[in-house]
Chain A
Amino acid sequence: MRHFVIVGILVIAAAVLTYAGLNAIGLMPVEASAQAIPIDWLWNLQVIAISFLFSLIVVPLVYSLVVFRRKKGDNTDAEHIEGNTTLEIAWTIVPLIIVVAFAYLGAYSLGETRRVDPNAMVIKVTGYQWGWQFEYPEYGFSSPTLYLPVDKQVVFQMQALDVIHSFWVPEFRVKQDLVPGRITEYRITPTLIGEYKVRCAEICGSSHAYMESPIVVVEQAAFEQWVGEQKLAAAEAEANATPEQRGQKLYETYCKACHSINGTAGNGPTWKGLFGHEVELADGTSVIADEAYLIQSIKEPQSQVVKGFAPMAFNATAVGIGDTEIQYIIAFIKTLK
Chain B
Amino acid sequence: MKNVHPVLRGLLMLVVGALVGYGVGLFLDYAVQSGFFANATELRFNAPVPGLFSLLIGATMFFFGLVGYRGVTRGLVFQVVGTLAGGLLVTGIRASMGLSLWGGFLFTEPAWVLGGLVGALAFLVGVGAVTDWWKWALGEPTSEHHHDEPGFEKYFGVSLDHKVIGVQYTVVALLLISVGGLFALIFRTELAASQLQFLTTSFKLFDQNGLQMYNSLMSLHGMIMIVSILLGIAGIMNYVVPLLLGAQDMAFPRMNAFSFWIAVPAAVLLLASLFLGGFDTGWTGYPPLSARAPVGMQMFFLGVFVAGWSSILGGLNIIATSLRMRARGMIAFRMPILVWASVATSLISLTATQLIGLSFQLVMFQRLFGMGFFDPDKGGNPVLFQHLFWFYSHPAVYVFVLPGLGVISELLPVFVRKPLFGYKWVAMSSLGIALVGFMVWAHHMFTSGMNEYLRVPFMYSTLLVAVPTGVKFFSWVATIWKGKIRTPTPMLFVLGGIVVFLMGGLSGPPNATVSTDLHLHDTYFIVGHFHDTIFGGFVFPFFAAIYYWFPKATGRRMSEFWGKVHFWLMTPSFFILTLGMMRIGLLGMRRRIADYDPTMGFDFTHLILTVTGYLIGVSVLIFIINFFHSMKNGEKAEGNLWESRSPEWLVPSPMPLENYEHEFEVVGEPYDYGLAGSRYVKFANEK
Contacts and interface: CB of A to CB of B under 8 A. Distances in A.
Contacts of A46: 509-510, 513, 516
Given A39-B516, A110-B456, A203-B282, A96 B595 contact: no
Interface string A100-123: 101101110110111000000000
Contact of B456 (A39, A76, A107): A107
A226 interface: no
A180 B516 contact: no
B680 interface: no
Interface band, chain B: 35 or more
A79 B380 CA distance: 63
B459 A182 contact: no
Residue among B289, B417, B487 having the largest count of chain A Cβ atoms under 10 Å: B289
Nearest to A96: B467
Contact of B460 (A27, A87, A100, A164): A100
B289 A203 contact: yes
By size class, the interface of chain A is: 35 or more
Contact of B418 (A81, A106, A113): A81
Interface string A164-207: 10101010011111111110100000000000010111111111
A210 B595 contact: yes
A14 to B, nearest CB: 13
Interface string B472-491: 01110110111111110000
Interface string B444-465: 0001110010011001100110
A79 B674 contact: yes
Contact of B35 (A107, A166, A212, A284): A284
Interface string B374-396: 00110011110000000000000
A240 to B, nearest CB: 35
Contact of B484 (A74, A176, A284): A74
A260 to B, nearest CB: 8
B518 A39 contact: yes
Nearest to B421: A83
A206 B212 contact: yes
B515 interface: yes
B519 A170 contact: yes
A336 interface: no
Contacts of A17: none
Interface string B481-524: 11111110000000100110011001101100111101101110
Contacts of A95: 466-467, 470
A70 B463 contact: no
B360 to A, nearest CB: 17
B514 A78 contact: no
Interface stretch (A54-62, A137-145, A229-237, A248-256): A54-62
**Best-buried of A166, A175, A212 by chain B (most CB within 10 Å):** A175
Interface stretch (B74-82, B201-209, B227-235, B339-347): B201-209
B418 A77 contact: yes
Contact of B596 (A28, A201, A209, A310): A209
A128 to B, nearest CB: 12
A163 B33 CA distance: 31
B281 interface: yes
Interface stretch (B12-20, B328-336, B586-594): B586-594
Closest 5 CB pairs of A and B: A181-B376, A170-B588, A80-B674, A209-B593, A106-B513
6 contacts: A43-B519, A69-B484, A78-B416, A110-B514, A163-B286, A203-B286
Given A202-B522, A207-B211, 16 more contacts: A28-B586, A29-B587, A39-B518, A42-B515, A43-B519, A80-B675, A81-B418, A81-B419, A83-B421, A84-B478, A87-B422, A96-B464, A179-B449, A180-B382, A182-B376, A206-B209
